[in-house]
A = this chain, B = another copy of it.
């Protein structure tokens, strides 16, 4: 994954580099943001036959990356990310992620589920996944987060998924995991940001509801959007119907965002995402 100021010859330089090291390109995608003049690229290289390895890649790559002032990262196919799921009381997104993890649709190590409630313990433990109940009160908020950070660090968690976790994370925690915390918001943001979006949608009388997954930033409900989806509603739908229809949107939208993240398909540019799907 590469991003850098746009310039002539980047694609040629990069693909040459790969060819010189006997790499076979399985997939390549690029995008230039014309407003910001930033170039983005995603290359998938067959590890079979590729002449560089984890130890030798960075040194070989340095000259090229400096020449184009690249921000880059490489993900080796034999590495698997480590994920933690945070949840409150709603179980639909949690169950969906558990199922995709268990069936191998999402290739990830699921280290733990953390919740500020104890309600979903059995639901998680029956899959033999550790469940940590870390209650939140007004007083213990920072202590609770410290506990959480210890747990995450101890398991080497790469990515946190807020699967309807109804607590706001501190700026410190967010900034320590920039572009590695994925949230699901139960509206088509930026409409109905904040609390009780289905109630807001009902009050406003919209004919469409939606769900939005985004990276968490210090600015609530305002991080870079990864995936969105909508579905039709009408005057016959009560708030409960919106909530029910929304659950089916939320879990698919969140799962899509998580899959793109796990497959290293997302680059963030300012407050937007480039998703090479």
Q: Is there an interface contact between B235 and A31, defined as CB atoms closer than 8 Å? A: yes
Distance to closest chain B CB from A238 (angstroms): 7
This chain: copies in complex: 4
Question: Bound complex: CA of A234 vs CA of B25, how far in Å?
Answer: 20
- Check: A126 CB closer than 8 A to any chain B CB: yes
- For A252, list chain B residues within 8 Å (CB): 248
Q: Which residues of B contact A210 (CB under 8 A)?
A: 188, 208, 230
How many residues belonging to A are interface residues under a CB distance threshold of 8 Å?
A: 62
* Interface segment, one of A55-63, A154-162, A199-207: A199-207
Q: Shortest distance in angstroms between A210's beta carbon and chain B's nearest beta carbon?
A: 7
A18 at the interface (CB under 8 A from B): yes
Residue A8 interfacial (CB < 8 Å): yes
A225 at interface, CB cutoff 8 A: yes
Q: Flag whether A219 is at the interface (Cβ < 8 A).
A: no
A11 in complex: contacting residue of B28, B236, B272, B273, CB < 8 Å: B28
A71 to chain B, nearest CB (A): 17
